[in-house]
Chains A and B, each alone.
Chain A
Amino acid sequence: MLSVTGSAGPPVTGSAVLSVAGLGKSFPGVRALDGVDFTARAGEVHALIGENGAGKSTLIKVLTGVYQPGEGEVTYDGSAVRFATPLAAQHAGISTIYQEVNLVPLMSVARNLFLGREPRGRLGLIDFRRMHREADEALRGLGVRVDVRRPLRELGVGAQQMVALARAVSVDARVVIMDEPTSSLEPREVATLFEVIRMLRGRGIAVIYVSHRLDELYEVCDTVTVLRDGKVVHTGPIAELDRLRLVSLMLGRDIGDVREEGLTKFSGRHDADSQAVLEATELTVRHQLDGVSLTIRAGEVVGLGGLLGSGRSETAKAIAGALPPDAGRVVVAGVPVRTGSTPAAIRAGVSLLPEDRKAEGIVPGLSVRENIALAALPGLSRFGLVDEARIDRVVDTFMKRLRIKASGPHQKVGELSGGNQQKVLLARWLAMNPKVLLLDEPTRGIDVGAKAEVQKLIDELAEDGLGVLLISSDMEELVEGSDRVVVLKDGAVVEELTGDAVTEDRLMRAIAATPAARATTAVPTAPGGDDD
């Protein structure tokens, strides 16, 4: 029953198992999916890729019964279906392995594997001996050796993922959906996972594989579907699509396009000091960062490029003390900073504008004034008492300088537009007089006008001598706004673009480069922006 090596009937390679046609799905204010056609075939590993907001998660949720389709229909096994609940989809033979393991941590490994379908002995009691033996066999088949009697939570994340996988493949699944299954696996475990995937393919199971790691896609997938802004922009055999083309499809930027200058508000290059204001060396965080080093000079904007999941936000957080690194050093203006401590980083002059503005940036219930003064509060106080007059002055200065539009300093920040919220956060940090600003997606989700203003502000700040690290999924913004671009892939720096090499073309090539071809394309230029 739980043997993973046995075959589940004759594999019918090539026939469509699960497909959608003309699928549309809207949420208030968002068109998440629009006319999507997608087909998963038996014995095929189908990569589903796209950047943030492309619609991957929505599509998967429709396929697994979490969401109901708005328009279009789902066909499973030749007939139109409607999965009312995720459970209905599971019973029909669609197994999903999520990024976050969804098992019961306190139960034993074996109990988790057999949850809801435990082998019964006489009197209807659970036959533990049989359950443990079969669980052990199933996991061995996946190359995992653990004591199946131990609670699941005592296992590493990778091993837990393997348990989830063993569970998924042992329930006679016909479709297995994997959502970034390798994000927390060791290389050895990844190899095992790929073997399992190939075995599933051999058994005629349709595998839908979601990942941002290009190397993996090319290694294990047969077909690829690229989503962008809720639409399918490409579908076909992955072997026929070269990496560069794939990256350009994902990002929606064409290779060799004549770059239209002046669409962003960036002025171009800055005159950077020769002196490094921030030096991060060999930052390493398990499963997330692999020895990332970068330098920012006073007065320059350094872009951090890469796909989703390449470690951009993690790098910024590690520098800002919000993500404790396992190894690595951060030096600000020549002084080493204790890593893993936000207050220490802030005292040293490093400020982070987080990617998730609403959850990690603003304090929505407090006023514009309190939000701006939040970080600088100890400096604006005397003997623990807040100096209201000084706060008023600081708030007034920054509301004017950053052109923050609010009904007044006492309006709640949660009521402002995204762009103004972002400006409030910038004001919060500028009030601290920082040396380095780490900006993670500073213009995401804000309207065009505000976007231009924020871009202009970033420019001004660099001209005023700040060191700026700019993370943006908007290639144009990244390229036009940055003096240099450090390119990340799978948590490691793969290339640094400087001078004339800072182009969208080069950036996409760097992202798409195969591991062997890495690090040979860097163009050496004199340190600092030397144009204009």
Chain B
Amino acid sequence: MTDLSLGGRTRPDRDRVLRLLQDYGVHLGVAVLLLVNIAFTPHFLSAENFRTQAVQVAPVLIVALGMALAIGSEGVDLSVGSVMALSTSLLSLYLGYGMWIALLVAVLGGIAVGVANGALIAYIGVQPIVATLALMVAGRGLALVLLPQLKDVRDPTMASLGSGDLLGIPYLVLIAVALALLVAFVVRRTTFGRQLLAIGDSRPAARLAGLPVRRVLILVYVCSGALAAIAGVLATARLTASDPTSLGNLMELSAITAVVVGGTPLSGGRVRIGGTVAGAVLIQLLTATLIKHDLPPSWTQIAQAVVIILAVYAARERGRR
């Protein structure tokens, strides 16, 4: 029984504050960073700058959407960075057959990795962290076998996909926003989304309720793989080059950070897409702020670490309730 005699008034208040902080802290963080930058960073408030920030955050956000699904199912997908590399290799290999075919092949590559991840997890019972670690290593290796070194991508359609815009909004940003809306819709409105949350919250209960646990898990990792492949394609278009050595390096960590900071608990059962978007933006703004104030890049990583710890702390405090 909880002791209500001491601080009986303050505890619920503290709980409420923590809950609000976990649910909306990330949005608050974004707002604070925006205000700080508007006040102190020269040339921050310009269309050009916002455009740059948005284009840079788009691939991270797209990967994080898939990661949110994996984490919501009480799993994780470490292979996303390698899937980006694989998709850029496949893209430049098949570009000779036309852009659309190359795009299709690249995304199919991501789906194939997702099927492999899902099958290992759902049928063989390998822990998600181990299964996707295996594919993380294998995927990067395969990408380098397919395309051993950096190769320029000289396709006009690709170039316009990477740098073009519609009514001043870059295609990359439009695609990222569209995908975020799509994933949010999937989580909220589809049978798959509901089943995913139930499986993430209580796998034994989901199983006894007759849910198609294996099918749902495979689909989760297929979504994550496909989204990572799309992110790889878009990053390639923006850089107008395929670089399987470095593309997507440490992307899994950025994506996990965005998801966790956005309030999706690592224990599964909950997926917050709005929070994930804000989480990705927060990390991007944090990086930009530190760079613009001439702090070394290593500071960015330390700042990221602090944000992750704060987010996990808030989640843990709440879980203890």
Q: Are A386 and B190 in contact (CB under 8 A)?
A: yes
Bound CA span A361–B210, Å? 11
Query: Of residues 377 to 432 in A, which have CB atoms within 8 Å of B's CB atoms?
Result: 377-378, 381, 384-386, 388, 428
Bound CA span A273–B197, Å? 40
Chain B min CB distance to A26 (Å): 11
- The residues of A that contact B190 with a CB separation of less than 8 Å are 381, 384-386
- The residues of B that contact A385 with a CB separation of less than 8 Å are 189-191
Q: Are B205 and A322 in contact (CB under 8 A)?
A: no
Nearest residue, chain A, Cβ from B188: A386
Bound CA span A322–B209, Å? 10
Bound CA span A352–B205, Å? 11
Query: Of residues 185 to 240 in B, which have CB atoms within 8 Å of A's CB atoms?
Result: 189-192, 194-195, 197-198, 201-202, 204-212
Q: Are B201 and A363 in contact (CB under 8 A)?
A: yes
- The residues of A that contact B202 with a CB separation of less than 8 Å are 359-360, 362-365
> Which secondary structure dominates where chain B touches chain A?
helix
Q: Does B1 contact A (CB under 8 A)?
A: yes
Chain B min CB distance to A358 (Å): 9
Number of A-B contacts (CB under 8 A): 78
Chain A min CB distance to B123 (Å): 15
Q: Pick the contact of A322 from B194, B207, B212, B269 — CB < 8 Å?
A: B207
Q: Does B27 contact A (CB under 8 A)?
A: no
Bound CA span A370–B189, Å? 12
Q: Does A313 contact B (CB under 8 A)?
A: no
Query: Of residues 341 to 361 in A, which have CB atoms within 8 Å of B's CB atoms?
Result: 342-343, 345-347, 352, 354, 359-361
Could you give, for residues 324-350 of chain A, a 1 whenever the CB lies within 8 Å of some chain B CB and a 0 otherwise?
Answer: 000000000000000000110111000
Nearest residue, chain B, Cβ from A344: B210
Q: Are B189 and A354 in contact (CB under 8 A)?
A: no
Nearest residue, chain B, Cβ from A343: B210
Could you give, for residues 273-317 of chain A, a 1 whenever the CB lies within 8 Å of some chain B CB and a 0 otherwise?
Answer: 000000000000000000000000000000000000000000000
Q: Are A320 and B208 in contact (CB under 8 A)?
A: yes
- The residues of B that contact A322 with a CB separation of less than 8 Å are 207-208
Bound CA span A480–B245, Å? 72
Q: Are A346 and B210 in contact (CB under 8 A)?
A: yes
Query: Of residues 30 to 59 in B, which have CB atoms within 8 Å of A's CB atoms?
Result: none
- The residues of A that contact B189 with a CB separation of less than 8 Å are 385-386, 388
Q: Does B270 contact A (CB under 8 A)?
A: yes
Q: Are B201 and A360 in contact (CB under 8 A)?
A: no
Q: Are B198 and A370 in contact (CB under 8 A)?
A: yes
> Which secondary structure dominates where chain A touches chain B?
mixed
Q: Are A375 and B210 in contact (CB under 8 A)?
A: yes
**Given A370-B198, A374-B198, A374-B211: A363 touches B191 (CB 8 Å cut-off):** no
Nearest residue, chain B, Cβ from A359: B204
Q: Are B208 and A366 in contact (CB under 8 A)?
A: no
Bound CA span A345–B207, Å? 12
Chain A min CB distance to B318 (Å): 12
Nearest residue, chain A, Cβ from B195: A377
- The residues of B that contact A378 with a CB separation of less than 8 Å are 191
- The residues of B that contact A428 with a CB separation of less than 8 Å are 209
- The residues of A that contact B198 with a CB separation of less than 8 Å are 363, 366, 370, 374
Q: Are B208 and A374 in contact (CB under 8 A)?
A: no
Q: Does A28 contact B (CB under 8 A)?
A: yes
Q: Does A29 contact B (CB under 8 A)?
A: yes
**Given A28-B1, A370-B194: A363 touches B208 (CB 8 Å cut-off):** no
Q: Pick the contact of A366 from B191, B192, B212, B269 — CB < 8 Å?
A: B269
Q: Pick the contact of B209 from A375, A381, A386 — CB < 8 Å?
A: A375
Query: Of residues 201 to 243 in A, which have CB atoms within 8 Å of B's CB atoms?
Result: none
Bound CA span A343–B207, Å? 9
Chain B min CB distance to A151 (Å): 20
Chain B min CB distance to A260 (Å): 33
Bound CA span A375–B211, Å? 7
Q: Pick the contact of B194 from A29, A364, A374 — CB < 8 Å?
A: A374
Q: Are A365 and B201 in contact (CB under 8 A)?
A: yes
Bound CA span A322–B210, Å? 9
Bound CA span A370–B210, Å? 15
Nearest residue, chain B, Cβ from A354: B208
Q: Which 5 pairs of residues, A with B, have the shortest CB-CB distance?
A: A346-B210, A365-B269, A365-B201, A381-B191, A360-B204
What are 10 A-B contacts with C-beta separation under 8 Å? A347-B210, A362-B202, A363-B201, A363-B202, A364-B201, A366-B201, A370-B194, A370-B198, A374-B194, A428-B209
- Apart from A343-B210, A374-B206, A388-B189: 20 A-B pairs, beta carbons within 8 A: A320-B208, A343-B211, A354-B208, A359-B202, A360-B202, A360-B205, A363-B201, A363-B205, A363-B206, A363-B269, A364-B202, A365-B197, A365-B270, A366-B197, A366-B269, A370-B194, A370-B197, A377-B194, A386-B191, A386-B194
